[in-house]
A and B are shown apart, each in its own frame.
Chain A
Amino acid sequence: MTIAALLPTDSFNVVVLAAVFVLIALGLHFTFGMLNVVNLVHGEFLLIGAYTAFQFQEWTGSVVVGMVLAPLVAAVLGVLMERGILRFLYERPLDSLLATFGLSVIIRQLVQVQYTANPRTVNDPIGGSFVALGLNIPWWRLVVVAATVALVFVVLGLLNRTGFGLYARATVRNPDLAETMGINVGVIRAALFAIGCGLAGLAGALLAPLNTLNPQFGLLFLVNSFLVVILGGQGSLRGLVAAGILLGGSLGILQFNISTVFAQIVVLVIAIVGVRLRPIVSEKLSVRRDRLRRAEALSGA
């Protein structure tokens, strides 16, 4: 008997949920993790992405065009929001929290006015599933997992291997010094906000076929996005991925045994305990890294 045979046939959902937790938090890594804006409008950018996919499905009969355009629509709206409002509030975190809360309510209400509160559905662009290792794997869910993995590597590459990434890291760590060293901090911040909103829009479009759409769609993901970014360590992409896998994976496993509501409560407890323990773990890892570095230096000498 293989291990796979012991698992429920829908065990792949554990992987999917882990990927979804990472996917919904990727955009927040830019707006909250890097730019330090307590971005309560993040969920509404998922909403914008999802409804962009829905709207294009209505217009063209195909959801794919909408999915491609969703991140662009969200990014453009994100830039307008950042340049119009949030750029004045970087040094005023409480005001930015209030502003993003207000914007989230406005966007939600506008969506409700336009599309009503009735549930909407976005078609699965591929449909169907296949069986592998005894597990039932829906094609679209596999696409969501693959897209998440690809996006993580793209974001890692963007931030660590490009000139833009270097300027962005410098900007978020010391904006005054960055500005006086020739970096246009305003442009970098706007670009980071646009990328964050674009990623949220893309996440919303990718997740739309897996959920019923309504104006509350973004709220479903907002709290979990913040949990992932905070548990992973604000500004740490690797931490975000680890936290997303931990929380999403835990939720997926727990849902086999207990109700979704209790599973979410347990996930919250895991997040709280994790946040409490993270400094201790970080300290131990840091000490270990220093020891290794010293040992390497001694062996080199």
Chain B
Amino acid sequence: MSAVLTVSNLHAGYGDTTVLRDVSFEVPAGEVVCLMGRNGAGKTTLLKALMGMLRKTGTVLLGDEDITSWKGHRINAAGMVWVPQESSVFPGLTVREHLVIAQRGNNVEKGIAQAAELFPVLGERLEQEAQTLSGGERKMLGIGQALVVNPSLILMDEPTEGVAPVVVQELIPAIALLRERASVMLVEQNIDTAIALGTRAYVLEHGVIVESGDVNALHDDGTLAGRLAL
């Protein structure tokens, strides 16, 4: 199957500090690839580098397009969107305005209706400032923003981290729905979530990929538990 994202020999970091070293992997079209690792392994750094937010060397191909030196807005327009871990929002802007920005003015009401159908709570709070949403609702907004742009690849950073179990039960079906529409690269520490959603997994340690393969196989042979144990 062709790869929607191909990363080769990626080195990236903050300022003079290199965090990621010689990272190479693929996200095949139509799959959910889990990027796993302990805190500080470099998972979020990898997503930021892919979205053009950090200096990097190596090669990043989105489909056949070399996006290594592209800026974030161009990467987004090309079809790769990011759902950040910290559920970032724009202070003072409403839920509706966030969804409008995500779509950049294209068929806005249809997109808003889609997001509201997936997460009814968002539909009830369209005119509420996004910064006043709970953590779980912000995660929903992040996923809703990704959904409405019909991307080819979604980078999702720990969507279930720090969220109440009852909200996780709402988020997982939504992520499963996204899986039907786009390829997903899912950063996750929770093995159960990875198995529920993922097909393939890469394990990152100290900025280096140390394991890769079928997520179930890595779970069955104890690799994931061993690598992610504290």
Contacts and interface: CB of A to CB of B under 8 A. Distances in A.
A182 B105 CA distance: 11
Contacts of B104: 182-183
Contacts of A177: 84, 88-90
B77 A180 contact: no
B79 to A, nearest CB: 11
A180 B82 contact: yes
A88 to B, nearest CB: 15
Nearest to A173: B90
A183 B51 contact: no
B53 A166 contact: no
B145 interface: yes
A176 B90 contact: no
Interface residues of B, number: 26
B72 to A, nearest CB: 4
A167 B101 contact: yes
B84 A181 contact: no
Interface size range of chain A in the complex: 10 to 19
A290 to B, nearest CB: 10
Interface stretch (B6-14, B92-100, B164-172): B92-100
Contacts of B75: 180
Interface in B62-115: 71-73, 75-77, 81-82, 84, 88-93, 97, 100-102, 104-105
A163 to B, nearest CB: 5
Given A163-B105, A166-B100, A183-B101, A173 B93 contact: yes
Interface string A169-185: 11001101111111111
Contacts of A174: 88-91
Given A166-B101, A179-B71, A182-B104, A173 B91 contact: yes
Contacts, number: 68
A169 B97 CA distance: 10
Given A163-B105, A166-B101, A174-B88, A179 B93 contact: no
Interface in A165-224: 166-167, 169-170, 173-174, 176-186
A181 B100 contact: no
A181 B92 contact: no
Contact of A184 (B73, B88, B92, B100): B73
A183 B52 CA distance: 13
Main secondary structure of the interface of A (DSSP, over half): helix
A179 B88 contact: no
Contacts of A183: 73, 101, 104
B69 to A, nearest CB: 14
Given A169-B93, A179-B53, A180-B51, A185 B73 contact: yes
B53 A170 contact: no
Nearest to A167: B101
A178 B145 CA distance: 12
A246 B84 CA distance: 43
Contact of B53 (A169, A176, A181): A176
A177 B88 CA distance: 7
A182 B90 contact: no
Contact of B102 (A163, A181, A186): A181
Nearest to B155: A180
Q: Which 10 pairs from chain A and chain B are nearest by CB? A: A179-B72, A182-B76, A180-B72, A184-B73, A173-B90, A177-B88, A170-B90, A180-B82, A180-B51, A182-B73
14 contacts: A166-B101, A169-B90, A169-B93, A173-B90, A176-B53, A179-B53, A179-B73, A180-B53, A181-B73, A181-B76, A183-B104, A184-B71, A184-B73, A185-B73
Interface of B: 51-53, 71-73, 75-77, 81-82, 84, 88-93, 97, 100-102, 104-105, 145, 149
